[in-house]
Amino acid sequence: DSGVTQTPKHLITATGQRVTLRCSPRSGDLSVYWYQQSLDQGLQFLIQYYNGEERAKGNILERFSAQQFPDLHSELNLSSLELGDSALYFCASSGGDRAYNEQFFGPGTRLTVL
Amino acid sequence: AQKVTQAQTEISVVEKEDVTLDCVYETRDTTYYLFWYKQPPSGELVFLIRRNSFDEQNEISGRYSWNFQKSTSSFNFTITASQVVDSAVYFCALSGNNAGNMLTFGGGTRLMVKP
């Protein structure tokens, strides 16, 4: 158990809908990262927050947004969902925002868009 | 831009065989960090090791060992005396000070250990 929690574990929804994925980092960790794992794109970095502020953006679509709250939990919002958004979404946390900080991953949320 | 290549998409071995998973990386950062993660069938990503670019000492942890060679930009992972529980997808990843501290992952190697 990495100490990172993600809810829900599974999510099934329809095209055009909006969903929110939630992540609670390990106790004391200030950085939260979101990654998407799909069959065609592999594991891709989406976005990072550090202590409430956005730190880095990767291949995140404009239809996706995220935030980190004062209690350090983070939410990833996916809107106008398309079939291609079906994937496993991981949240990871680390103690700092440096390249050497190990990132510990949550169990993931499997999103299925029908 | 950073890139990680795991040329072996799938490896199948029989229990107790040794197996090496290859990882080759590209980066313009002078200081960077290499990682290995394991993704068992249950789906979570488990951190295994971090290696700094300025430390080329190889590392051994039980049946696991890692060979970092800067000259060939490789960070290979060897499992000695493989066990069925080692069956998983293994990912090599890279982060760098200038490219941002997000992880760039390779495509993964699926290891199947048969009894």
- In 3-state terms, what secondary structure has residue A100? coil
When pLDDT is averaged across residues A84-113 and rounded to a whole number, the result is 92
- For residue B29, give the amino acid letter: D
Residues 76-105 of A with CB under 8 A from B: 88, 90, 92, 97-105
Of the candidates A42, A90, A100, which has its C-beta nearest B33's C-beta? A100
Rg (CA), chain B: 14
* CB-CB contact of B90 with B80 (8 Å): no
Q: Which of A27, A94, A49 is nearest to B93 (CA)?
A: A94
Query: What is the least distance, in Å, from the CA of B82 to any CA of chain A?
Result: 23
Q: How far apart are CA A42 and CA B65, in angstroms?
A: 25
Of the candidates B44, B97, B99, which has its C-beta nearest A105's C-beta? B44
Give tens-digit pLDDT for A8-57: 999 999 999 999 999 999 999 999 999 999 988 899 999 999 999 999 99
